[in-house]
A and B are shown apart, each in its own frame.
Chain A
Amino acid sequence: MDAVLRAIAAYLFLLVVFRIAGERTLAGITTFDFVLLLIIAEATQQGIASNDYSMTTAGILVVTLVGINILLSWLKQKFPTMDKVVEGVPMVIVEDGKPIEQAMTRARVDESDILAAARERQGLQRMDQVMYAVLERTGEISIIPKRRSGSDMQH
């Protein structure tokens, strides 16, 4: 009973904190982000399991956390608003080779991030080769390159 409530509280708390932090916070994970994630995991683990080392508690926690996750994914599917609230919405940040500055500033993405994604995913060299860049809900940047031919709207 206690463990279930703690797991739910921790789940919701982390959901809110990471949602506030924004999807870019731990996207494209760097070494330091990874270390930070481990520390957060450790701190949370202390809170939800306290000093209870039983298999039963571990099982209850796992079942509860996975259960809430399933419930939440069901809710997201059922209610589109819920989906947006929990996961956010994708956003176009480059259009026809032109970065949309306002959106980028507010989403904390800069041109070098977009260029890095363009190099990594599409092997592009310059911004003008990008047709669209989209900041996805995962915090990743997806790149749609321009076609070499004139009909660059085709994909």
Chain B
Amino acid sequence: MARSLPVQPAVARRQTAQRDRPVARNLQIEEDPGFQTREWQVQRAGWAILGLLAALAALGVFGTGVFSRTSVQADGLKVEYERFGRLRRPDAFRISFNAQGPGQVLISREYLDHFTIEDISPRPDRVEATAGWLAYSFPVRDGMATVTFHLQPEAFGRISGAVRLADGESITFEQFIYP
């Protein structure tokens, strides 16, 4: 709806008479006050959403932050991980365990399939593949030992994992990887 009007003095007079309500101007322009108002409303709401997203990101809802870092614990075994991860960004995955006898930790194969292992510290002496599990043997002394895996997610979505000691029960956890 182009408000194109012929250039006439009559139009000019009417137009100057009611200046506060922009009606027919002597301009060929496609104004749309209704749309403009709605656009502003959407924009204001959009600013709030942008601010909210930034705040949530700072808190760790999209990875690394107070809402993200978490741990699960069972007797003699503790797993620290990020609840939220991001595709192809390595995060630390930490297992603490009571090292008695062989320092062996088993991680579910299904879980590790979603990651590239960037680094493991300390380096395991041995890795064995068993049915559904990868068994890492670490050089440990008696007491509580902590090993760190630097894992880079290669898939996004929900990923569940399980960790257990050679003779213990497994503890499970879930992660969400953002694309």
Name A's B-contacting residues (CB within 8 A). 16-17, 19-22, 50-51, 84, 88-92, 95-96, 98, 100, 103, 106-107, 132, 134, 144, 151, 153-155
Chain B 30-69 interface residues, beta-carbon cutoff 8 Å to A: 30-32, 35-36, 39-40, 42-43, 46-47, 49-50
Complex partner residue of A153 from B9, B32, B39, B42, CB under 8 angstroms:
B9
Residue of B12, B15, B35, B43 contacting most chain A CB atoms (<10 Å): B43
Contact at B26–A155, with CB atoms within 8 Å? yes
Name B's A-contacting residues (CB within 8 A). 7, 9, 11-12, 15-16, 19, 22, 25-27, 29-32, 35-36, 39-40, 42-43, 46-47, 49-50, 88
Q: A102 — nearest CB in chain B belongs to which residue?
A: B20
**Told that A91-B36, A153-B15, A153-B26 touch, could you supply 13 new A-B pairs with CB distance under 8 A?**
A17-B50, A20-B47, A84-B32, A89-B30, A90-B30, A92-B29, A96-B16, A96-B19, A98-B19, A132-B27, A153-B7, A153-B12, A155-B26
Min CB distance B11 to A, Å, is 8
Contact at A92–B31, with CB atoms within 8 Å? yes
Contacts of B36 in A (CB 8 A): 88-89, 91, 103
Q: B40 — nearest CB in chain A belongs to which residue?
A: A106
Min CB distance B86 to A, Å, is 10
| Alpha-carbon gap, A36 to B42, bound state (A) | 24
Q: B37 — nearest CB in chain A belongs to which residue?
A: A106
Complex partner residue of A132 from B16, B25, B30, B39, CB under 8 angstroms:
B25
Contacts of A154 in B (CB 8 A): 7
Min CB distance A87 to B, Å, is 11
Contact at A84–B29, with CB atoms within 8 Å? no
